[in-house]
Structure 1
Amino acid sequence: MPDRAERPLLFLDVDGTLLPYGAAQRPSTAQEWDDWQNPANPQLAQLVLGHGQLLSELGCDLMWATAWMQDANEVIAPLLGLPELPVACLPDAPQQDEAGVLHWKTQALVETAAGRPFIWVDDEITELDRAWVSAHHRGPALLYHVDSRTGVAEPDFAVLDEWAQRYAGARGRRSPDA
């Protein structure tokens, strides 16, 4: 196992990634988001509890990259059996996503990684984000898009694990995956 300083970061989104929307409508107002992030939200039953162990076994340093911010540690982490994780410092999430615009997390995640290899797992990653990361991040990066209706699935973990093993300790080397 590589030294922890050499392990890739794994930036982890919640909504649409760990917590699929399925048939639920994506929250759009501040009140709907507050209700969504409530520990009593019945949608939390959509979490796959075994994903916590799979995430822990990836050989990455896990970090929340979600509008849930610290609430992810209070609500999601205990349900998945994860320890408290660091939370990426992100700008405020926009009320609505704009098509054709760099994702609101992209620049902050590249700054946080600071050249370190990273995986970003999210349901909102676009080709624009991939191109920006490729041009601005000096290390390997895998921007891994998941379908928000189903969220991350067990087969995805094999891809993430293979990438993490390949780029462990690869600070400053370029990845063809970005």
Structure 2
Amino acid sequence: MNRPLLFLDVGGPVNHYAAKPSKRPDGYTPLRVPRVGAYPEHRGLSSRRRPLRIWLNPDQGRFLLRLGIELCWATTWDDEQSELDQTYVNAHHRGPGLLHRVNPRVALQGNDLHTLADFARSLDTPRAVG
């Protein structure tokens, strides 16, 4: 049986890209990710560019994995979520769908995690979240 997909925009919901660099939230681990050029003409640039600063919360990762939903990295959207996105999902997706905006300054918070857990519980999939 295929598990439902959670397209998770990492830049904002998981990593506080809009937070002040000097204010790492409690529970978050700083990581530096090398910038690797996606295009052949950018390959020489990666060694000269500073790595990306990423803050991840291991507890949130464990929580997301227990939802029983397949996690899919989805990043670099072209726009902010709008009613048009929900209309598109309703028209083109046969199963249940949830579009949920997360504030990029504070990333995933308790209310966001509860929303995801409630949605996961509404699906008929095995999971470990109680």
TM-score range, shorter-chain basis? 0.5 to 0.7
Mark the structure with the bigger radius of gyration. 2
C-alpha distance in 2 between matches for 1:157 and 1:141 = 16
Amino acid at match of 1:63: C
Q: Counterpart in 1 of 2:86?
A: 130
Give 5+ residue unaligned stretches, structure 1: 25-35, 68-92, 98-102, 104-123, 170-178
Query: Which residue, out of 19, 38, 53, partners 1:43?
Result: 53
2: CA distance, partners of 1:128 / 1:147: 19
Question: Aligned residue for 1:149?
Answer: 105
Q: Residue 53 of structure 1: which of 56, 62, 68 is its match?
A: 62
Query: What corresponds to 2:4 in structure 1?
Result: 8
Larger helix proportion of the pair: 1
* Aligned: 1:160 with 2:102: no
Q: 2:71 corresponds to which residue?
A: 62
Q: What displacement does 1:37 show?
A: 4.8
Displacement after TM superposition at 1:148 (Å): 1.0
Q: TM-score, normalised by structure 1?
A: 0.48
Alpha-carbon RMSD: 2.5
Distance 1:55 1:164 in 2: 10
| TM-score normalised by length of structure 2 | 0.64
Runs of 4+ that moved beyond 2 A: 36-43
Q: Matches of 2:53 and 2:106 in 1, distance apart? A: 13
Three-state SS of the structure 2 residue aligned to 1:10 is strand
User: Offset of 1:38 from its aligned partner?
Assistant: 2.6
Equivalent AA in structure 1 for residue 70 of structure 2:
D
Deviation at 1:62, TM superposition (A): 1.2
SS of corresponding position for 1:143: coil
Identity of aligned residues (%): 37
Aligned length: 100
Structure 2: give runs of 5+ residues left out of the alignment.
22-31, 36-49, 126-130
Moved more, 11-20 or 147-156: 147-156
Alpha-carbon distance in 2 for matches of 1:15, 1:143: 16
Look up the match of 2:128: none
Structure-1 separation of matches of 2:51 and 2:107 = 17
Instruction: Find the aligned partners of 1:153 and 1:59 in 2 and give their Cα distance.
Output: 19
Separation (CA, whole Å) in 2 of partners of 1:160 and 1:146? 11
Query: How big is the shift at 1:131?
Result: 1.3
**Of the candidates 85, 96, 105, which is equivalent to residue 140 of structure 1?**
96
